[in-house]
Amino acid sequence: MKLKLSLAALAILATSAQASELNLYSARHYQTDEALYANFTKQTGIKINRIEGKEDELLERIRNEGSNSPADIFLTVDAARLAKAHELGLFAPVASKTLETRIPAHLRTEDWFSFSTRARVIVYNKASVKAEDVQNYEDLANPKLKGKFCSRSGSHPYNLSLMASVIANQGEAKAEEWAKGMVANFARAPKGGDTDQIKAVAAGECGVAVSNTYYVARLLRSTKPEEQKAMEKVGIIWPNQKTTGTHINVSGGGMLKTAPNKAAAVQFLEYLASDEAQRYFADGNNEWPAVDSVKVANPALDALGKFKADKLPVKNLAMYQAKAQIIYDRAGFK
């Protein structure tokens, strides 16, 4: 896709000279993003000054810098973290026909945009759990899985967003009942990340867990014999295919209110929605493009197959984050 400036960017350029640099604060820690940034500079001549760090640290830094912050763009993963930046009043609304046209309405808000998606799937041990018993997220609370469920912390944004989707789709009462059922089914106390859950399922320490798809895809693409053997023992389920569809989370970002290089910031956001950039997200980190028309050739994603995705607006995921944490806490899902 040929890069074009939107009316928003042109309007800013009309009153000031085009910025030659962009200050990016990013909580994305993927080496493959290097090509993404290099290509933007090659196309536009705009140099990217990048600071990477953990989400909370970057947000605190932006707040402390206040009106003197050099940051133009904040990028991160998970709707919960993007929502936090919004709640802190850090993002500025961006009016861009390019972004409105290319990014589906359910994957954007008035001031931040999703640029890639990932799904939260169920992984199960083929030897100890039947696929028909774990077709839905609700099944994770079924007493027949007692002593078989493993998970990372309930306070992690990935699980908070999943719970937020359950609250939005089914209400608080059912969401809390679900959380209590999962706690009753724990094989062990929550610990580790998604990759740890998959490996624990393969090892038989757990019968079932949930994971973001790009962790599954990484292991499917692994050349390590032990990881290849582990994945032979694991089955993957797209949950809730007959109801709401599988929960989707996002990676995204927005322009900051105090951005000193606003034209470059809008141009960068629009670049992230281009065909080229969308393919970098998919090929580099095993994520799906947010732009529906972009086709990618990723064998690991292809191996996972097609699925029905939950089209719940990302702003709804953000809306129920606090309630999700309260429900997990009440259920003892630490």
Angle value at C-alpha 3, between 29 and 283, nearest 5 degrees: 35
Half-sphere exposure of 251 (CA within 13 A, CB side): 27
DSSP 8-state class, residue 138: G
Angle formed by the axes of helices 225-232 and 213-220, nearest 10°: 120
Task: Provide the residue count of the chain.
Answer: 334
Q: Is 158 annotated as a binding residue?
A: no
Q: Is 215 annotated as a binding residue?
A: yes
**Cα–Cα distance between 290 and 296 in angstroms, integer?**
12
Residue linked to tokens 């640290």: 57
66 is written with which tokens?
């206040």
Q: Is 328 annotated as a binding residue?
A: no
Give me the long-range contacts of 198-203 (CB less than 8 A, separation at least 24).
Answer: 198/123, 198/230, 198/234, 199/230, 200/150, 201/123, 201/124, 201/125, 201/150, 201/233, 201/234, 202/125, 202/230, 202/231, 202/233, 202/234, 203/230
Report, in angstroms and rounded to the nearest whole number, the Rg of the chain calculated over CA atoms.
Answer: 20
The DSSP string of 167-236 is HHHH-HHHHHHHHHHHHHTBSS---S-HHHHHHHHHHTS-SEEEEEHHHHHHHHT---HHHHHHHHTEEE
> Which residue numbers belong to the known binding site for Fe cation?
29, 214-215
> Which residue numbers belong to the known binding site?
29, 214-215
